[in-house]
Amino acid sequence: GENVEQHPSTLSVQEGDSAVIKCTYSDSASNYFPWYKQELGKRPQLIIDIRSNVGEKKDQRIAVTLNKTAKHFSLHITETQPEDSAVYFCAAEDTGFQKLVFGTGTRLLVSP
Amino acid sequence: GAGVSQSPSNKVTEKGKDVELRCDPISGHTALYWYRQSLGQGLEFLIYFQGNSAPDKSGLPSDRFSAERTGGSVSTLTIQRTQQEDSAVYLCASSSALSYNEQFFGPGTRLTVL
């Protein structure tokens, strides 16, 4: 089955800096890679996703890049703001079981 | 339309008692997941239902845990003989049929076992 690894587990940045979170996956047939944000005490919510037919996708200050050859994908947040502080989870398809498998999460802290 | 709902929002129980947690997915969503999230930790996969297929139970931590999904809609997660280590937030999520569709999470049930 799919195995997703996520790094770092915690990330502290100053407001205005960029933040990068990286994930690797094992299922070479996987075609879908979403990112979820979970604010303190709230439920995870999808913030951006990418499918395997593109290498990069942007939405304002966030972007995701995908390298299918190396089987890794990354979340990039530019001009970070305190409200970006949250736990971020990556995920990838397990094509055998037709389900999503989540990474272990990255706690991002943006200091003013 | 309505999102994923879960009940109860909070449950406090005594060690050794059984509990039932309920999840109402978004109407028409055939895929339903249960996760457990301990304080400050990640999403621990428990069980996955997809349509009429046999559920993927590979994440259930022990035989005290079981889940069912009636009529392809509402799901109940049952924990028998609860232990203190079962204390966590239990999250339910649903998505439309295919694995490459967004999962919508419910608000969770916070379970505390005394």
Q: Is A49 on the interface with B (CB under 8 A)?
A: yes
- In terms of phi and psi (left: phi > 0; alpha: psi -120 to 50; beta: otherwise), the region of B71 is left
Round to whole Å and give the CA distance between A48 and A39: 15
Tell me what percent of the residues of chain B surpass a pLDDT of 70: 96
Give pLDDT, residue A111: 96
pLDDT tens readout for residues A18-38: 999 999 999 999 999 999 999
Q: Which positions of chain A have pLDDT values less than 50?
A: none
Q: What is the pLDDT of residue B100?
A: 66
Residues in B closer than 8 angstroms to A86, CB to CB, are none
Q: Give residues with Cβ within 8 angstroms of A42, minimum separation 6.
A: none
Q: Is the pLDDT of residue B86 over 90?
A: yes
Query: Of the candidates B31, B77, B40, which has an alpha carbon nearest to the alpha carbon of residue A99?
Result: B31
Query: Residue B99: pLDDT band by 50, 70, 90 thresholds?
Result: low
Identity of the residue in B41, B43, B102 whose CB atom sits nearest the CB atom of A34: B102
Provide the pLDDT for residue B1: 58
The pair of three-digit structure tokens given for residue B113, joined into one six-digit string: 């076992």
When pLDDT is cut at 50, 70 and 90, the band that residue B96 belongs to is confident
- Please answer whether residues A72 and A22 qualify as being in contact, where contact means their C-beta atoms are separated by less than 8 angstroms: yes
Q: Is A9 on the interface with B (CB under 8 A)?
A: no
Q: What percent of chain B has pLDDT over 90?
A: 77
Rounded to the nearest integer, the mean pLDDT of chain A is 94
Q: How far is B104 from chain A (nearest CA, A)?
A: 7
- Segment B55-66 shows an average pLDDT of 94
- Give the residues across from A75 on adjacent strands: A21, A64
* 3-class DSSP state of B85: helix
Name the residue among A32, A43, A51 with its Cβ closest to that of B105: A43
What does the block give as tokens for B10?
């909070």
Cα–Cα distances in angstroms (integers) from residue B36 to residues B42, B84, B108, in the given order: 8, 14, 9
In what order do the strands lie in the sheet containing B19-24?
B5-7, B19-24, B75-79, B65-69
Nearest 10 degrees: Cα torsion A87, A93, A94, A98: 120
Between chain A and chain B, the number of residue pairs with CB atoms below 8 A apart is 50
Closest-CA residue of chain B to A40: B40
- pLDDT mean across residues, chain B: 92
Confidence band (pLDDT; 50, 70, 90) for B104?
very high
For residue A99, the model assigns a pLDDT of: 83
Q: Which of B90, B94, B85 is nearest to B108 (CA)?
A: B90
Q: Report the sign of the C-alpha dihedral through residues A24, B39, B76, B95, in that order.
A: negative
Q: Is B101 exposed, middle or buried (0-12, 13-18, 19+ CB in 10 A)?
A: middle
Residue B25: per-residue pLDDT? 95
- What tokens does A90 get? 């990556």
B7, pLDDT greater than 80: yes
Does A33 reach chain B within 8 Å, measured CB to CB?
no
Q: Do A43 and B48 touch (CB under 8 A)?
A: no
- Distance separating alpha carbons of residues A10 and A3, to the nearest angstrom: 20
Comparing C-alpha atoms, which of A83, A79, A78, A85 is closest to residue A106? A85
Tell me what pLDDT residue A54 has. 83
